[in-house]
Amino acid sequence: MTKGKFITLEGLDGSGKTTQIKRLDAWLRERGHVTTLMRQPGGTATGDRIRELLLSSKSAGIAPMAEMALMFADRAQAITEVIRPSLEAGKVVVCDRFTDSTEAYQGGGRELGSEVVLELHRVICGGLNPDLTLMLLPDLEPSLERARRRNQKANNTAGPDENRFELEADAFHRRVWEKYHEIARREPGRVVLIEGALGIEDVHQRIVAAVSECIAKQ
């Protein structure tokens, strides 16, 4: 049995997850919780190398199944090295993306379907499921617009080459968005869906309400 809490954040690129994770982390720490922040892909030395491979525009020819397998390879490493030990130590682990991302992006976006993703999750993640998933799904069009603007900016500066998914066509992101909704409908007990055009503060308030409830549960 794990003692900590495992909280994941999900959403499209440009949904504001990064800002919300920072605010949630500060909120948890102010209340005396010890947190571990993780992101996927990445967050371990091996995972960061897998991340580079997955997100680089140089990996253009990567097969969807290979892409999915690498996402799970990264996850296996993160679970062993960081997530399980942190949970066993009673920490609150806040992870930017987890298996729902694979289901949405590879299962939905790349059209591999949910079944294969859930099967790999079962085998590779060994029953580790989030206690709570905060799914940020603002309306699709403004999200796509924000992601495009972010991309433009990244292309004009000398940042890391990490835009392979953001460069996908709108139809890909639409499939991701639809798959996320499907997951939220399927697992209402785990997933809190935060939708529509909400400001940063409103989203934060919804997040802390859901997290408070999750932490209060034994």
Q: Is 48 in the site for ligand TYD (CB under 6 A)?
A: no
Which residues inside 82-141 make contact with ligand TYD, applying CB under 6 A?
A: 96-97, 101-102, 105-106
Chain position carrying tokens 């004009």: 156
Q: Supply the minimum distance, in Å, between the C-beta of residue 116 and ligand TYD.
A: 13
- Would you give the binding string for ligand TYD spanning residues 9-28, x where CB under 6 A is met? ----x---xx----------
Question: Which residue do the tokens 């720490």 mark?
Answer: 29
Q: Residues 54-83 vs ligand TYD: string with x where CB under 6 A?
A: -x---------------x------------
Minimum gap (Å) between residue 53 Cβ and ligand TYD: 12
Packing angle of the helix pair 45-55, 64-78 (nearest 10 deg): 160
Specify the residue, 116 or 215, whose C-beta has the smaller distance to ligand TYD. Answer: 116
Does position 143 interact with ligand TYD (CB under 6 A)? The reply is: no
Segment interacting with ligand TYD, rule: CB under 6 A, options 26-34, 35-43, 136-144, 186-194: 35-43
Closest CA to 101 of 13, 192, 20: 13
Confirm if 97 and 106 have CB atoms less than 8 A apart: no
Cα torsion at 71, 73, 74, 75 (round to 10°)? 90
**Counting Cβ atoms within 10 Å, is residue 78 exposed (0-12), middle (13-18) or buried (19+)?**
buried
Residue 101 CB, nearest approach to ligand TYD (Å): 4
